[in-house]
Amino acid sequence: MSYIPPKKQQKAIASLLPIVTFIKPYKWVALLALLVLLITAGLNLSIGQGVKFVIDSGFIAGSKEQLTQAISGLVVLISLVAVGTFCRFYLMSWLGERVSADIRKAVFNQIVHLHPSYFEENRSGEMMSRLTTDTTLLQSIVGSSFSMALRSALVLLGGLIMLLVTNIKLTLLVVACVPLTLVPIMIFGKRVRKLSENNQSAIADISTYAGEIIQHIKVVQSYTHEEKEKHAFGGEVEKAFNVARQSIKQRSFLIAAVIFLTFGAISVMLWVGGMDVLEGRMTGGELGAFIFYAIMVAMSVATIAEVYGELQRAAGAASRLLELLQIDSAIKDVTEPKPMHYGNEVSIAFKNVDFYYPSRPDTPALKDINLSILKGKVVALVGPSGAGKTTLFELLQRFYDPQQGTIEFNNEVITQVSLTELRHSMGMVPQHPVLFSSDVWHNIRYGNPDASDEQVIEAAKRAHAHDFIEQLPDGYGSFLGEQGVRLSGGQKQRIAIARAILKDPDVLLLDEATSALDAQSEFHVQAALNELMQNRTTLIIAHRLATVTHADVIVVMDKGQVVDMGTHQGLLESSVLYQKLCELQFDKAQSIESVTT
Ligand SMILES: Nc1ncnc2c1ncn2[C@@H]1O[C@H](COP(=O)(O)OP(=O)(O)OP(=O)(O)O)[C@@H](O)[C@H]1O
């Protein structure tokens, strides 16, 4: 643990305070747990008196009857402590689990609403660790560390008072000895903590490495890199082992030193106290009770020292989580949305739109875009890679807001209408269909969670997907594997199309697949798309021009700008860039005319 100036330390621990808001709904559980904690701490301390009673009334007085009585009393006391500990442990751990579950939900709820550019700046692995590691750390604080610290503080205080009451001379000895036991804890504890942090990050490196290899196993095998990867992974594992070995060494020293010092100190106490007993200055029971309290005090101090380090680590986690919870989404939903009028002739209009991605504030991704799209028309966006076609889709769905100009949907500026309604009106079929690790039902129903089984099957039929789904091992109940790995490219696309059909959006945003499908797949996908495009305003990002020659309007884009607009035939005559694109794609020998027919 590195040195933190006092002011910063206060701030660090203070950052745990916001957890209180998460504990508030369960304040009665928390109060009950605290009450039980208070009682058990008191009972724990009273065991010392029980020990004294057993020794003095039983052994020293030499009365069997009194010994039985004393032991019975002690057993009752210990039983009460056991019951109290059960309640405290259960209630506190329950509270810890409950609070961390609530924090996890709050963080996830926040994440799903955040603007997409946030995820460009923050790696998904880091977000995952917010959700898992950081919340687990807080769980251990609420569920155990806090109660341990509180119990130890109470026992420390009570124990010291009991020590003073029993024997002042010996108490001074204890006060001198306790810091002595703390020295190795401080020295080795610091090293152990540092090493175990290193160890954790080494383990995290291992799992990241293995995760990547497992995900890309086919690439590894096809390049026959198995041996190389085994060697590299082995190296990572050995690195982690070496860190662990150092940590174990320090830990072993720590345990040995603590045992030696603790028992050494107890022996000295026994000697000094034993002398007092022999000289009649105190009873044997008092000495027994004294040693009991001394051990409790020492253990409490050790616990507090350890928990303090943990509290600091948790403070870091709490401030990271709080930071995440306080981020405002850059895409804000309007508080009083304007109603959407679907009867307008113009469906979508871009007016003088300029847009820069947040990570590239100097390079416009879109510049001075003016575009009107009429209801029910099919509009194709074409242009070289990086022209800004996908960006146009992103703005339309309000994943980003433009810095200049406005985008209108049914004559309303999209920032003024409900975000849910806007996105509900649009259906996106991406270039690489996104499938979830679930069955076909779930994946198609993603388009409309309320759809009945019949509606899902109907959508699949219209998407030309029904037949191949029927042939899967469990039909619609077949698990599609992570990212739908158990399907072909064309099949994945047809599932995505079925999903869009089920959503039944007003506007269809289609990012055509770049990779060519085989003729039969192509036929099915195209037929499914034709079905989907019926009676809808459709925007297609066209990578293969042959598929959009019949579009009502083709928009030619380059370097973030609209350079030409028109029909295929018109553009062939007027647009230099379009001609060039066509020449690149269609076999020259076949000539441009052949595709127009
Ligand atoms: N998230 C992002 N952050 C920063 N710049 C981006 C981001 N996404 C795209 N760009 C940049 O914006 C420009 C337009 O990209 P866009 O993806 O819209 O092009 P595109 O026409 O769809 O290209 P393609 O046909 O290759 O998919 C490119 O220069 C690209 O590098």
Nearest Cα neighbor of 525 from 554, 547, 553 is 547
Listed residues 297, 329, 361: the one ending a domain:
329
Q: Which residue has the tokens 């209180």?
A: 20
Position 525 in a domain: no
Position 296 in a domain: no
Instruction: Note whether 380 and 233 are same-domain residues.
Output: no
Instruction: Note whether 137 and 33 are same-domain residues.
Output: yes
Instruction: Note whether 120 and 259 are same-domain residues.
Output: no
Instruction: Note whether 142 and 195 are same-domain residues.
Output: no
Under DSSP, is residue 538 helix (H, G, I), strand (E, B) or coil? Answer: strand
Sheet holding 404-409, edge to edge: 364-374, 346-356, 404-409, 412-413
Instruction: Note whether 216 and 318 are same-domain residues.
Output: no
Q: Atom 16 in ligand 1: which residue has the minimum CA distance?
A: 388
- Please state the three-class secondary structure of 152-215 as a single string: HHHHHHHHHHHHHHHCHHHHHHHHHHHHHHHHHHHHHHHHHHHHHHHHHHHHHHHHHHHHHHHH
Under DSSP, is residue 465 helix (H, G, I), strand (E, B) or coil? Answer: coil
Pocket of ligand 1 from Cβ distances under 6 Å: 120, 357, 359-360, 365, 383, 385-391
Distance CA 117, CA 53 (A): 70
Listed residues 329, 359, 388: the one ending a domain:
329
Position 297 in a domain: no
Instruction: Note whether 138 and 17 are same-domain residues.
Output: yes
Average pLDDT of the residues in 120-144: 78
Instruction: Note whether 127 and 196 are same-domain residues.
Output: no
381: CA distance to ligand 1 center in Å? 14
Position 295 in a domain: no
Count of beta carbons in the 10 Å neighbourhood of residue 283: 15
pTM given for the model: 0.74
Instruction: Note whether 455 and 402 are same-domain residues.
Output: no
Position 529 in a domain: no
Q: Atom 7 in ligand 1: which residue has the minimum CA distance?
A: 357
ipTM of the complex: 0.95
What is the β-pairing status of strands 537-541 and 553-558?
A: unpaired
387: CA distance to ligand 1 center in Å? 7
Give the number of the atom of ligand 1 that is nearest the alpha carbon of residue 381.
21
Q: Atom 9 in ligand 1: which residue has the minimum CA distance?
A: 391
Distance CA 475, CA 478 (A): 6
At 389, the pLDDT band (50, 70, 90 cuts) reads very high
388: CA distance to ligand 1 center in Å? 6
CATH number for the domain harbouring residue 160: 1.20.1560.10
Position 234 in a domain: yes
State the burial class of residue 482 (Cβ atoms within 10 Å of its Cβ: 0-12, 13-18, 19+): exposed
Nearest Cα neighbor of 521 from 557, 553, 552, 492 is 492
Distance CA 107, CA 127 (A): 9
Instruction: Note whether 64 and 181 are same-domain residues.
Output: no
Give the number of the atom of ligand 1 that is nearest the alpha carbon of residue 116.
1
Cβ(488)–Cβ(407) below 8 Å: no
Q: Atom 17 in ligand 1: which residue has the minimum CA distance?
A: 390
Instruction: Note whether 568 and 419 are same-domain residues.
Output: yes
Position 286 in a domain: no
Ligand 1, pocket-test mutation among 119, 357, 543, most atoms within 8 A of CB:
357
Position 177 in a domain: yes
Q: Atom 25 in ligand 1: which residue has the minimum CA distance?
A: 385
Of 76-80, 104-108, 178-182, 325-329, the poorest mean pLDDT is in: 178-182
pLDDT digits (tens, 9 = 90+) for 20-66: 888 999 999 999 988 998 898 888 888 888 888 888 877 666 677 87
174: CA distance to ligand 1 center in Å? 70
Distance CA 38, CA 155 (A): 10
Range of the domain at 17: 7-164+307-329
Nearest Cα neighbor of 539 from 371, 349, 379 is 379
pLDDT at residue 81 tops 80: yes
Report the number of distinct structural domains present in the chain. Answer: 4
Give the number of the atom of ligand 1 that is nearest the alpha carbon of residue 388.
18
- Residue 509 bridge partners (DSSP): 428, 539
pLDDT at residue 581 tops 90: no
Instruction: Note whether 39 and 126 are same-domain residues.
Output: yes
At 121, the pLDDT band (50, 70, 90 cuts) reads confident
CATH number for the domain harbouring residue 561: 3.40.50.300
Under DSSP, is residue 356 helix (H, G, I), strand (E, B) or coil? Answer: strand
Instruction: Note whether 364 and 442 are same-domain residues.
Output: no
Ligand 1, pocket-test mutation among 356, 360, 561, most atoms within 8 A of CB:
360
Q: Atom 2 in ligand 1: which residue has the minimum CA distance?
A: 357
